[in-house]
């Protein structure tokens, strides 16, 4: 059984309002993770390319991805897993060099909830996760949200 399947088994044990901690995560609080709103995604990818970062859009096996986010809201995952959810159309962002999810943990798990062998659309960023996190903190196109989805313009941590 892979990590994603273990996470989904755990998800079934929670009520819809619960926040759970996925196994194998990097312990990064949601409040400290750079997140890209859908309206800024294309512009953010352009910004990354302007920084000299290679970015490729393609399909990735969801089973190969790993979470960095410490808290996952089970109600958001179940919402994402709803058939034909438009929220699943937004590609996840992944650090290609180590397969960590940068942005899109709930979409990733929602897709796995639908199909354990699913592929996800992903922007594959040619960096390791900690290098990416430090770079993303410099962009004005990212926001930081806590588990209640309150938006902040900067993280609590200053460097990874």
Domain presence at residue 154: no
The helix (run of H) or strand (run of E) holding residue 11 is helix 3-11
pLDDT of residue 144: 93
Whether the Cβ atoms of residue 72 and residue 20 lie closer than 8 Å to each other: yes
Domain presence at residue 158: no
* Tokens standing for residue 77: 């995952």
Determine the distance from the C-alpha atom of residue 154 to the mean position of all C-alpha atoms in its chain, rounded to a whole number.
18
Q: What is the pLDDT of residues 13-29, one digit of tens each?
A: 544 557 767 777 888 98
Q: Which domain holds residue 56?
A: 3-141
pLDDT of residue 36: 93
pTM of the model: 0.83
Domain presence at residue 89: yes
DSSP per-residue codes, 97-139: TTTEEEE-HHHHHHHHHH-TT-EEEEEEESS-HHHHHHHHTT-
Domain presence at residue 149: no
Residue 148 has pLDDT above 70, yes or no: yes
* Tokens standing for residue 6: 């273990």
Q: What is the pLDDT of residues 7-65, one digit of tens each?
A: 554 555 544 557 767 777 888 988 998 999 999 999 999 999 999 999 999 999 998 99
């Amino acid at each position: 059984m892979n990590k994603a399947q273990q996470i989904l088994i755990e998800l079934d044990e929670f009520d819809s309002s619960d926040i759970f901690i996925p196994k194998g995560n990097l312990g990064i609080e949601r409040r400290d993770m750079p997140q890209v709103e859908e309206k800024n995604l294309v512009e953010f990818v352009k910004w990354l390319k302007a920084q000299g970062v290679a970015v490729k859009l393609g399909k990735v096996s969801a089973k190969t991805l790993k979470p960095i986010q410490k808290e996952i809201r089970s109600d958001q995952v179940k919402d994402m897993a709803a058939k034909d959810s438009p929220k699943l159309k937004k590609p996840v962002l992944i650090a290609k060099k180590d397969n960590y999810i940068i942005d899109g943990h709930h979409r990733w798990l929602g897709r796995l909830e639908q199909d354990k062998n699913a592929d996800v659309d992903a922007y594959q960023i040619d960096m390791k996760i900690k290098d990416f996190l430090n770079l993303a903190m410099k962009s004005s196109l990212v926001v930081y949200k806590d588990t209640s989805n309150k938006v902040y313009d900067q993280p609590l941590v200053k460097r990874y």
